[in-house]
Each structure stands twice: as C-alpha cells, then as structure tokens.
Structure 1
C-alpha cells in the first residue's frame, strides 16, 4: 500500500497435470482445497505440529504467507525473489523488503532507500514481510495497511460476478489467457481479482490477457483504473476532476511517433511499448485481446496487433506508469523519475553503501526480459533500450524532452 495508484496483479499458481493436459492450479476458480488448507493439521499436511493451524486451517500463519508457500522465489509464477530478479508484469515484492539499500546522491552524501515507498507492503509474517511503516491506510482510501495481503486483491476461491455463488453458470476457463468459455459457462476473472461482490468493492475485475502463468507479458483491455479505485477512490475521482493525472482518457497520438529521446520515427504498427502499456478499449473478454506473447528468438510479437500503438479506443490507465506489486522505484513506478535526469542513472546504478543491489536485479524489463535502458540496440521495440541520454518515459505521451 504505497503513495500512488497501484493494484496487485499476482500470477497464477503451479501446474497440475490432469489427463495429459496442463491446468493452472487455480484454473480461473477455486483450486483443490489441500493446496492451501491442512485438513486435519497433521505433520504430513504442512510440517507443523498438530494443533497449530493458521486461520481457516491455512498452511501459513496468515493469508499472504499461505500464498507465498507457492509464490515465493524467482522466475515463473513467483513474485518475491531474493535479489529483485523477477520480471513478471506485476513486479517483485523483493523491493518492499528491508534490504538495506542506499545510494550516493553526490560524493560523500548517501540516501537510504525507503522500501516502504516501492510498492504494496503485504503482510506475510512467515516470510518476514510486514505492513507499511509510513501509511496506516491506503492512499486515497481507507483500507488498513495492517490488513493488506494477497487476498485483499485476489480471491483465492476465484468467484466471478454472476457465476458460481450467484448460480448463473460455472467457471470453465481462466479469464487470464484468452480462452473462450464453452456455452453455458463463464470465464473466471483476470488473475482471480475480486469483483464487486466483495464487501467494500464497487468495481468489477478488469479485462486483460497474460502471456501465460508466468505473467511476463500482458495486453490490457479495460477497467483497470476503476478497479484500483476500489481502494484508492479519491485518486480516481480527482483524476476525473483534474486534481491528479487523468486515467480512462485517450492516449495522445504522439505515443505512436515517440521511440526515445530525440527519436520520433515511430509508426503505429510497431509503436507499443510494454514499459508504457495502454488499455486497448476491449470491454468483452480477454479472448478479444491480441496475444501478448512474442517469439524469444526474433523478438517479434506473435500477433501484429500486439505491437500496434494507440488508436481512437486506447486509454491511459494506472498501470501505464506503475507496477501492480512493487518495483525498484518510488510509488512502484515502471521507471525512475526521482533520482536522476536520465533513467539509465537510476539509484541502483549509483555507488552503494550498506547492501549492494545484486547484479541479477532487473529494474527495467520488457516481456520478461531484463534490458539495458542505455543501449538502444538494433531497433527492436520489444527488447531494446532507449539510449544513454533517455529521459523520463513520461515523454512517451507528453514529449517534453
């Protein structure tokens, strides 16, 4: 829970092989119960002494610890690495842990990095993760920081509005990967996000499509900013009234021509920048979004539509600028706009004191691949950086550089 408008978008769980086909553990709805709960709290269930279950017989001492029993670690469906190396779209909770990072502002002057301000500080006692020390409630809202966890945003049982509990239809497919539900069934919500059926929520889950359970690429459809407003409502209302950066508004068409500082040779067919994502304006389902995947050898999108820039239906959203979980930068931003004139000179590249940032840390990445932002490369928008003198990526829409 940090100083800007973020939303947690955790990736789906481990794979379970059934009848020769691979299914996500959550599969768009409730998974098998003993994945998270210890039925009789026996040592064979979770290794804990009998009589010491977590809440609701969970396998962790709290909700987020139960989630991190599977999602702690690096790469694939993990979201909390030991070195900041995760490159999924939501970001890495590593950055909101107290890692002792500091950087040199100028010779002889060092600044400690405020890890509280780098993303959502979920409470997961079994993994040493605690509540935000600066904020007691969600900025722009009233949700308590001490109660923030994975299940504040994600429904572990995968209920979707109008389905299952509502009795309208069963969930047959995940809403994360573009699958079309068979007739008489519905898709689950994107990343098991809550609908307005959660107490205190007024907005349904957004529409988006991920490249796979590892969440390394995402195409966004609609509804993201409104969904963030379930906890950060004052920000959302002020964005509509001009008090804050607007969301749910058209992306400026200069987005298409802007490639990097000093380079305005872009074309709408290849203008999409995954470090500055947009909503496509799709309001039906994830299956109507282009596949966000790309060929790792050629660096080209599997569907030409995934590389396209903005058109009349494209919108700005909260995640155009922010990571959902956490990032290496203040307010969970996708790039550094506070410690240097050029994004290639971000704080983690400066002389360190205390614990140095690991060489494997990935502050900047596209489609799950870490990039050197100072190296413009060969002109491939999916894998290249921008150049040594690239300024803030706010300029992708505003062009003040």
Structure 2
C-alpha cells in the first residue's frame, strides 16, 4: 500500500518551475546558464508599494486578517474593476488569495465534481489542466494553432461544449503565447457562451496591463454583461506591479461562488500575508504610470527576440500582443540532429539539448499543450536576451 495519496497521480509537477529550478542549479554549479523560463518581471517592486508595506509593519499590521482579504484591499479591488473594466462588485463578491493560482485553485476545487468538463484553449498555462484533474474534472483541450494566431475560433468552442461542461477557462493576453483577443474576437466567443447557460466563465486577466502596439484589453463580463452572473474575473498584482513574491491574487464574481471559495480557503491557508495585502492596496490605488514605462522596456525586448528568432532557418515566431512571452514554432527543425548528437524529434528534446549544449533554458511546447514550439520569457535584460538568441541561432545553424 502506497503511503502517498492516489490524488497526486492525477497531476504532474509544473514544467516551468522545473526549468527555472534546473537553471538555478546549473548556475550554482558554475555553469554559464541564461534562464528564460520564469514568468517574472525583472523590475523591482515600485518604491511607493514597498513603502506601504514598511508603513504597515510599523503600524503593527501583523495579525490574522479576514480569510479572503482586508476591507481596504477589497475596496481597492472594487475600484480597479470599475475603473479598468466597467464591472461593479460589492465586497461580498470579491476574494483575495495567496496569488492568482490559489484563487484559481479555490474556484475549480469548490465547483468541480467527477465527470465535469472544463474547456481550456491551447496553448495554455501549465497549471490549468492539472488543477482541473486534481479537482476530479476533465480538461477538454481546444487548440488555437499558429495559423489562427494561437486563438480559438467560435466554431471550435461551440463544438467542445457538452452537457457536462462546467467551465470555460479563458486567458488573454495569454501565457505562453502573448496572444490577445480583440473585442470582436471575444464577443464572438461570448455569443457562443450565451447559447449555453450551464457553462461558467473563468477569465484569467493577470496580464491585463502588459500589452503593446495599442492593443485594447477586454474581459468577457465587460464585453457581454449577460455573462456577469456566471463569470469569475481573476487578476492579481504579480505581473503588472512586479510583485510576484508578494503573492496576492484576487477575483470578482457571483457571491455564491465567492462564499464557497472562502469556505475552502478557511481550511487551507486562511488569509494572505497581511503586509502583502497593504502593499497591494498601494499598488491598486497608487500611481500607475510606471506600468507604461515597464511596457516600453518589454516591447523593446519583444521586438529584439522576435526579430532575432525569425532570422533563424526553421523557426517561426509570431508577434505577441501582450504578456512577456514568445512561443516560436520549431516545425522546420524536427528530424535534424544537433552537434552533440541529439536527434530533435520533438520540442522537449529540443529544449533539453539547447540547455545542455548552449546553456539556454527554455520551456518546451508540449508542457503548454501545443507542439512543436518552445516558450521564451523576455522578462530579463536586453543583454541576456541578445546573448541567448545568438546561442540559439548558433545551435540551430549546427543542426544537420
């Protein structure tokens, strides 16, 4: 009899975390490694946000708080949803968790029963299908191929819906592709969802403010108000505010769902860190201009990486609308052999050979549900990205 729970057999470790950990281990061992796996801005948390955390410490805000967020943070979140998305929530419709991942976990675990299906567009963030499986649900993967800009069509969504569909899990701009749905594209999807009132919508908007070239962000409950009563709109401070380690995520949605999520959280972590909550208040209520400044840096890096990768024979790299990832195809490299003798027969082998032979750490596409591709996070320095692209080009030039 195994000591470990059989529930663990339903999920796999996070490949993105594994790649980042491997890069750190190799660096610690003295290897020359450029890690492009972590989805984490390299900017420091803005000074006014850190100052708010220090002030909270000095005031003694170090005790337990309400399970799913202090009233001040919920008010700030209400203001953000109204200001940015035209969505009205009362305090009882808002949940704050220890990062967006916990909020997502709470929502799915609190609602899924065996046999329930969750539609997930691919490429997807690696944790989506794993959390669904953990909750006893079944991920239903709908591919949005490179020919469609990594976005799914209304027809594909319609075809995937069954009487067992519980959720449609949506993410724009996307991790891992950076693809963003236009208002018209999203409206076409919400028109499909209106025809299926048993399907709830979980919109992961974590990259809302990381966007380029005038791309207009929109979210499902904003585009189609009739979906408001069955949509959970999820966000957080990690990406836009360079606060990944602070671990604050939040969501707005129907009270019956928020109450269920609170019940689950009360028996897991209870409240998020009190100091981080006060920092998040300052983030949402304070000056926002630095976001555009950061995006200008990200755009420069995006353009550098896309140009350099598209110059490599065998690689095709679309231009993303947001986030800080590119998701190039290596279809033209499959079947070739590296200088080190590795036959590149899939993207996982490609990524493994790349780090072993060049020291560049990327995440293979199969982890995100669409191959043959790999993901690069360009949330690192221009110098590191330029050197990484040179090494990737040299590696590909050496294939035969």
TM score, norm. by length of structure 2: 0.26
TM score, norm. by length of structure 1: 0.26
Q: Which has the higher helix share?
A: 2
